[in-house]
Every structure is written in structure tokens, then in C-alpha cells.
Amino acid sequence: MNWHQQLASELEAAEAQHLRRVRNVVSSPQGPEISLDRQLINFCSNDYLGFANHPKLIEAAVAAAKKWGVGSGASHLVCGHQELAEDFERDFADFVGAEAALLFSTGYMANFAVINAFFDREGVILQDKLNHASLIDAGRLSRASLQRYSHSDMDSLESRLRELADKPALMATDAVFSMDGDLADLSSISSLAESYGALAYFDDAHGFGVLGVQGRGSLNSQNLRPRGNNLMLATMGKALGSFGAVVAGDQVFVNTLIQKARPYIYTTALPPTVIATNAAALSLLVEEGWRRDHLHTLINGFREEAKSIGLELMESDTPIQPLIVGDNSRALECSAKLREAGILVTAIRPPTVPEGSARLRITLTAAHSEDHLRQLLEALSKLKSEGLL
């Protein structure tokens, strides 16, 4: 078999195991209802605050395009670091209580940058087993050695730190776990960083905008700041409704990233339209706090009702409310039946989640109404009565 045939047979095998990934073509803007082959209520986006199609953000993007054009022209270190980027970094750092912040094109690239910038072969990267793929991939590609501790097991993490003696260590964790919705114990990890002289890196892709005072994120919700040994990542493609990512922490870390982070140095800076949109979204976090209130009302309502119809929920108070199905083909069947009922929830299967834990990753957003929620719960209740959940 040549490699071409090999690839084709791998695709066939994935299909047979109900693991083949397909893309849905969306023919409308993002929102609580989107058009695929028809209009569906959307319960699988990360647009937690309903910002992706917000008129003020569209206005900000258009105004920036008119004033600044559509391209940044070069990387930040050549001539692409526009005033808009400089201002956004300053405002973001102030908002989260950090000394400094640095923009990246994506969270994936930012994670790659942080995991690889601070030390080389002598270092150790300690990661929660359920971390996002971008952290795990960065750890695997790093010259430092990678160790993974059991999910949220602080004893296991501490015993590993103890064994490292003087080796430099970076602990990395999702602050809100992307496929489970639960929160990491950031306070304990931050204390361990302090005690062992390690760096704590909190990936707040799913907490920033949603948790903490005015949406300042998971660290804020646990009375922490990205200072000292704590470093944080926020992504802009989720609650901020736009695109890009930012790392915030002490100036020394940001300066080191500017010198050494290859995914920062060797790529074109974000376009002005995107940065201006993110800046406007940052203001909206403060101006439209009702969105977070409404979102948390929906989350509580969903959990109460789901329990009353006998659904097994995960330990999550965040917009990510997964229902574990287990089997891949059953997860696909549930997703297909929801779609027949006018509801979009994609089935998440391995390797995105561990083997045997395929799930419906339901996400709630501030743009959903009580009526959307009622329709979701009715459809889930039907799946339950058919023995599928």
C-alpha cells in the first residue's frame, strides 16, 4: 500500500469507528440561531456573551478598516506593531491587574509560545491531563520534559514538584476545562508556584469575559492576579466574540516573550480591524454587564431543569454544560436527533476527549432566550425518554 492508499484507508477506518470529523457550512452570522441547511438553535458556540455579531463591534471593525486599513503589514518586531495594538495591550493589562500584556494571533500560538519561551532542556512542564490540545501539543514539541498529572489532583502535582528539586518548572492548566466546564484550583496552583519557585500558567480561554468582576476572568474570580509567578492567557475568539489572544503577567515575562517566542516573532501582527474589535469588546464587558447576569441565570436554570429530568450533569457552573454519552455512535445519534428537533449541538469524540467519554458539549450564551433553553430541555428530555441519555 502506498502512502496515498494508506491515508484513504485511515479515513475509512475513522468513518467505521464514528470518528470522522466533518464541517458544517454555516450561511449566517454567528448567533443563538444560525443557518446550516436550515435555521437551528445554536448550543455549541463559544460566543458566550453574544458579541460575535454585536453592532458596536461591527462598527468598531468598519471604523478601524477606514482609518487603519485592513492589514498590519508585518510582524510586530518589523513594522506591524500599530498604536492600536500598543493601546490594547496596555488596557488589557490594566483590566486584569497585570504589569504588561502581549497580543498573539491565536490562543494556540500563544500557548506554544509560553510553553517554549522560558526554559530549554533543563526545564519541566507539568500539565493537567485534561488540558486543551494546544497546551499538550506545545508540551510535546518542547525541548523541556513534559509530565501530566491526574485531573485537578493537587497532591499529585505537588509530589511531582517536590521530586524536581532545582529544575525550573512551569505548571500549565486550563482555568476552565474546555470540554468539561469545571474550574481548576488556581489558588492552590498559585501557592505551589510560590512555594516551589515555579511558574503557574493559567489558560483562561473559557473564563475571561464570563467569570470574575466585570468578566476579568478566572484568576479574578479566585482573588488572584497575573502577577509574580502567575501568568495568564485570554483568548478573544470566545467571550469577546472576535479573534486573537493575549498573555498577561509581569513585565519580565512579557519582555522575554518578545525576545524569544517564535510564534510571536515570526508571524504577521493581527490586523487593525481585529484589534479594534477586541478593544471595543473589552469596553462592552464593563458596559453590558447584564449579559453575564443573564448568562448565569440561564446556566442555573439549565442545571436545575436538567437535574429534574434526570440528566447527569458535570461539576460545572460555567457556560460549558456537557452531557457524557460514552459511545461515539450514540453521541452522533443524539446530535442528529437534536438537529432534527431544530437544535445544533455537535458530538465531541476522541481524541478531543478521552476514549469512552464522547459527549454533547452544550454551551449556553447570553444571546439565548428562556424560550431557546426550554426548547433545548424538551429535546433532551425526549432523548432521555428514548434511553439515549
Ligand X SMILES: Cc1ncc(COP(=O)(O)O)c(C=O)c1O
Length of the chain as a residue count: 389
Q: Hunting for cell 432566550 — which residue is that? A: 369
235 binds ligand X (CB under 6 A): yes
Alpha-carbon distance 250 to 227, whole Å? 6
Residue 246 touches ligand X, criterion: CB under 6 A: no
d(CA 297, CA 68): 40
Binding mask 156-175 for ligand X (x = CB under 6 A): ------------------x-
Residue 188 known to be catalytic? no
Q: Which is nearer to ligand X, 178 or 365 (CB)?
A: 178
- Under 8 Å CB-to-CB from 169, ≥6 apart: which residues? 123, 124, 125, 126, 161, 196, 198, 199
Shortest distance, position 109 Cβ to ligand X, whole Å: 7
Minimum distance between the CB of residue 256 and ligand X, rounded to whole angstroms? Answer: 20
Considering the rule CB under 6 A, would residue 253 count as an interface residue with ligand X?
no
Query: Which of 54, 76, 132, 238 is labelled catalytic?
Result: 238
Say whether the peptide bond before residue 351 is cis (omega within 30 degrees of 0). Answer: yes
Dihedral sign from CA coordinates of 101, 102, 106, 108: negative
Among 31, 237, 263, 271, binds ligand X (CB under 6 A): 237
Query: Does the active-site annotation cover 178?
Result: yes
d(CA 78, CA 198): 33
Instruction: Determine contact, residues 338/377, Cβ cutoff 8 Å.
Output: no
- Residue 134 binds to ligand X (criterion: CB under 6 A): yes
- Is 206 assigned a catalytic role? yes
Question: Given 72, 152, 178, 190, which residue is catalytic?
Answer: 178
Residue 16 CB, nearest approach to ligand X (Å): 28
Indicate the residue among 206 and 372 with the shorter CB distance to ligand X: 206
Q: How far is the CB of 133 from ligand X (least distance, A)?
A: 8
One character per residue 204-223, x = contact with ligand X (rule: CB under 6 A)? -xx-----------------
> Using CA atoms, how far apart are residues 52 and 278, in angstroms rounded to an integer?
11
Label residues 113-143 b or e (16+ Cβ within 10 Å = b). bbbbbbbeeebbbbbbebbbebbbebbeebe
User: Taking CB under 6 A as the rule, does residue 180 contact ligand X?
Assistant: no
Residue of 76, 132, 359, 361 that binds ligand X (CB under 6 A): 132
Residues that bind ligand X (CB under 6 A): 106-108, 111, 132, 134, 174, 178, 203, 205-206, 235, 237, 245
